[in-house]
Structure formats: C-alpha cells, structure tokens
Amino acid sequence: FDRMAAVLTLWIAALTAVAAAQSLHDLPVCNVNTSAISVSGLSAGAFMAVQFHVAFSSSVMAAGVIAGGPYYCAQDEFTTALTECMTLPEGINIEALVAATERFASSSKIDATSNLARARVYLYSGSKDTVVNPGGMHKLQQYYTHYVTSGNIQTEFSIASQHGFPTVDEGIECTRLGEPFILKCNYNAALQILQNAYGPLQPAVDPIAANLQKFDQSQFGPGASLLPEGYVYVPTACQNRSTLCRLHVALHGCEQSTEFVQTQFVEETGYNGIAEANNIVIIYPQSAKDILKDNPNGCFDWWGYTGSDYAVQSGKQMAAIKAMVDHVTGKAHTL
C-alpha cells in the first residue's frame, strides 16, 4: 500500500508540473520602440535596476530607483552590502565606484559610460526607511550626477514612508514595515517613474486581467536563480504589432517575488493601468530564493551570489533580463 501511495504521489506531482508548464505562455514579441526601454526597482530590485541601467546604457534610456544605492556598491562583498550600502552609507566611496565603472567600461564588460549623459533618472527614498538608509540614495544621486546631464535627475526624498513601494491606496500603512512592502502613501511612484522616463502620460485605466500573463523564464536564465515563471503585462494595443509600444522592466525587492507575496507586486504597484493607457509593455522578472546561495529572501543579485560578474553584462541575472528585453523587442540574444 505504501508503495502504491508513493507512486500515486509522484504521478500527481508529475501531472501538476505538466499542467503548470502548459499554463505558461511564451514571452511575446512586440513592436517596441528600442529607444524607449526603461527599468525600475525597489530595494534589491533597485540595486539591480541601477546595475542593469549602467551596464546596458546604450539601450536603456531611463531608470527609476526606490530605496537602492550606487552601482557596484557591494563590490562583490555581502558584508559591504549589509553595512555601507544599507545601513552606513557614509562609508560609500563614490570615487572608487566611478573608477570601477570606468574599468568595466574600458574592458567592454559594460556599455560606454558616455551613454548615461542622456539618461533620465528618478530617485525615491522614504525618510522613515529603516531597511535601506536614505543616505544611500543621496550617494546614488552623487554617482549619477557624475554622468547624467544636469536636470535629468528627479528626486523625491521628503515623504515619510517606510521601506516599500509607495502607491496611492494599495498595500499597508505608509509608515509600516512589512509584507507586501507596498505602501499606501497617497503617492503614485509608478506614474512618477514612467513619466520621468517618457514624459506626460494619459491617466491610468483599469488593467485587463487577460493581458497579464505568466511566461517561462527558464529559457532565458538557466542557472540564474530565477523562478520558473515571470510575468508580463501586454497592453491590448501592443498585441497585434501594428502599434509602436514602449518597454519597461519592473524589479521586485527581497521577499516580494511570487514566492512570498503572490502577484501583489505585479498587480498592486500601479504599473499595469498606466501601461494599458499608454502602450507600455511591462516585464516582471522573478528572482528565486536559494538558501544554499545565502539568498533565502529571493533578492536579485547585487552582491555576487550568482558569480563575481553579477554587475556586468555577463552576469547571469543581468544577461537573463537582457535576453527577455531582446526577445520582446524581436532581437536575437545569446546567453
């Protein structure tokens, strides 16, 4: 009887896996303006967004950063990530990070830093954030100021919010710390990020549930510590390839992937309604928790748990996300 039960359990698990795989869609190919690709993120996703922007600056024209810090802040050291980058930002040496950036660029590990001159950058830090010290975002502003044309950096550091993604009316109380790390602050960070990137936008409309789809991430990032499935929101007008659309990558924070908060980051941060009204495709990559790699909270890699090249174009997660972008835009990619 025990043997039959074990066989039955394995059979049910196999059927469940097949059903889950069949429910995944292929990531679509859309008619995307390749001059209108942007990225944003919260916390670990914010550090990753900065990495992605700097490393692929020839194709990523704007970045929105909520509670993050400068490029290559951790310098391949987990202890540095926890100390200088998150709690003791006075120890962040911007000159050293700029020098490292130039070193990577000169060896073609990232795009030329001259591309950053035309970038548009949005920076947000809640004054009550107890997880990522707001001083780190001031250091990030200093880093970007070294490269970005004056006037192209927008900041919001005055709102008394905790650590999380600020929205108008979704999530928990603005000054509270906890899951889903989405905050009800009467502030539309998604709109600010996208408008800073693209200019004035049409008001958000109700997102269409069928336009939010799961896609198979495994084909883009084998070994990249990503979940089997990511999410993509494809506005109605972007589905027939006759409309020229824009593309945004939104990166969740630690403990904010679907393993922790289901689809709350994907559905409650406010991006999808804006996307539907303004023909912006939104990719939501999903990072996986991995205790063996000292990443139990499912953070994107900004300190080196996937390899020492985590901050350059060849980094496993960096390459995977770029491959997703290239696929949606119809470009060939190599991993």
Q: Is the peptide bond prior to 166 cis by the omega test (within 30 degrees of 0)?
A: no
Q: What is the pLDDT of residue 25?
A: 76
Question: Which residue in 306, 284, 283 sits closest to 295, CA to CA?
Answer: 306
| Mean of pLDDT values over 207-232 | 95
Residue 203 pLDDT greater than 90, yes or no: yes
- Work out the percent of the chain whose per-residue pLDDT is above 90: 88
Q: What is the pLDDT of residue 331?
A: 82
pLDDT in tens, 66-87: 999 999 999 999 999 999 999 9
Residue 62 pLDDT greater than 90, yes or no: yes
The reply to whether the predicted model has a pTM over 0.95 is no
Weakest mean pLDDT among 17-21, 75-79, 122-126: 17-21
Residue 126 pLDDT greater than 50, yes or no: yes
Active-site positions? 43, 129, 163
Distance of CA 333 to the CA centre of its chain: 20
Residue 306 pLDDT greater than 50, yes or no: yes
Report long-range pairs for 180-184 (Cβ below 8 Å, ≥24 apart).
180/256, 180/260, 180/261, 180/264, 180/265, 180/268, 181/42, 181/43, 181/253, 181/255, 181/256, 181/261, 181/265, 182/264, 182/265, 182/268, 182/269, 183/126
